[in-house]
Amino acid sequence: MFEHISFTIQRIRFLAEQPLLVPEYKGSMIRGALGHALKKVSCALKRFTCPECPIREKCAYSVCFETPIPKSSEIMKKYPKAPHPYILEPPLEARDRYETGEIFECNLTLVGRAKEFLSHFIYALNVMAEEGFGRGRGKSKLVWLDYLSADNKWVPLYSSETNEFVGEPYSFTMKDILNKKSTLLINKQIEIQYLTPTRIVIDGNLHDTGEISYIFPGLLRRLTLLQYFFCGGHLEKEVAPLLESARTLQSLSSTFQWQDWVRYSSRQDRKVIMGGFVGSVLYEHIPPEVLEILCWGEWLHIGKGTVFGLGKYNLIPVN
């Protein structure tokens, strides 16, 4: 299942040329600065708004940040937007200041055909660094990009000194997911560790724990839509047995706490509270078909706010 999904993971490195004053949770700030820069470098028909633009399905900013439903879509025709095909993972450290000469890092995941816009993203990252970001718009320099390889190592991808690609990003596919699943199945117990606030909405309400039975329906939907809109248009439909298998799982133990963080929304011109749960839950004998889906989510996150880096979890084997 989901054999059509592919994605790349890039690590971005900025060199601070002025002090960078950033919030404790940095995902929203990075997204805002990058989105502004990407629109600046991508927009070819500035007299149009994104929904009216005749080339909106070919534009890096429109596809990734506005993500309109294509006219040819067989699903979600009444919805204004599809899931965004990228994830920004900010540094998890709580520090709010980077001094001149220090490195500021974040990760960028591009799903399916969004990978075609990598050069646009690099151009936008250069503009983002030059214009400055964070409080006071501290300026920096994009110095390097690496990509994550199949053996979980960072490999050089782009150098700002030569302004050239020095490698080709590795595309993660079903093969990598099956390898990870095989590794985890050796262990009887697996812990799910939620590293960033995770926002799971059930019946219109935010849920405060991350048991598999609660996160699984939303994860299946997210993967189905990413595959349909960005990875070849294949729609997975036989999900009822998976949902039933996940619904009956019982955890051995869990510990969760609620974590609020505040971001500024330029569109709403106000501060927005984006809380979610963090913590961990332990399981024994997760069915292989369920574990496979969870392996996708480990890379592609779950819940609301994934573009900010929310909903990040790790699957940890317990000996």
Domains of the chain in sequence order: 7-165 (no CATH), 174-318 (3.30.70.1900)
Residue 261 is predicted with a pLDDT of: 84
Residuewise pLDDT in 10s, the chain (319 residues): 899 999 999 999 999 999 999 998 999 999 999 999 999 999 888 888 887 888 888 899 999 999 988 888 989 988 888 999 999 999 999 899 999 999 999 999 999 999 999 999 999 999 999 999 999 999 999 999 999 999 999 999 999 999 999 999 999 999 999 999 999 999 999 999 999 999 999 998 999 999 999 999 999 999 999 999 999 878 877 889 999 999 999 999 999 999 998 876 766 677 778 889 999 999 999 999 999 999 999 999 999 999 999 999 999 999 7
Distance, in Å, from the CA atom of 294 to the CA atom of 315, rounded to the nearest integer, reads 8
pTM (2 d.p.): 0.95
Distance, in Å, from the CA atom of 17 to the CA atom of 21, rounded to the nearest integer, reads 12
SS3 of the chain: helix, strand, coil, percent, to 5: 30, 30, 40
Cβ 166 vs Cβ 267: under 8 Å: no
Closest to 130 (Cα-Cα) out of 53, 34, 56: 34
- Contact partners, residue 123, CB within 8 Å, separation at least 6: 41
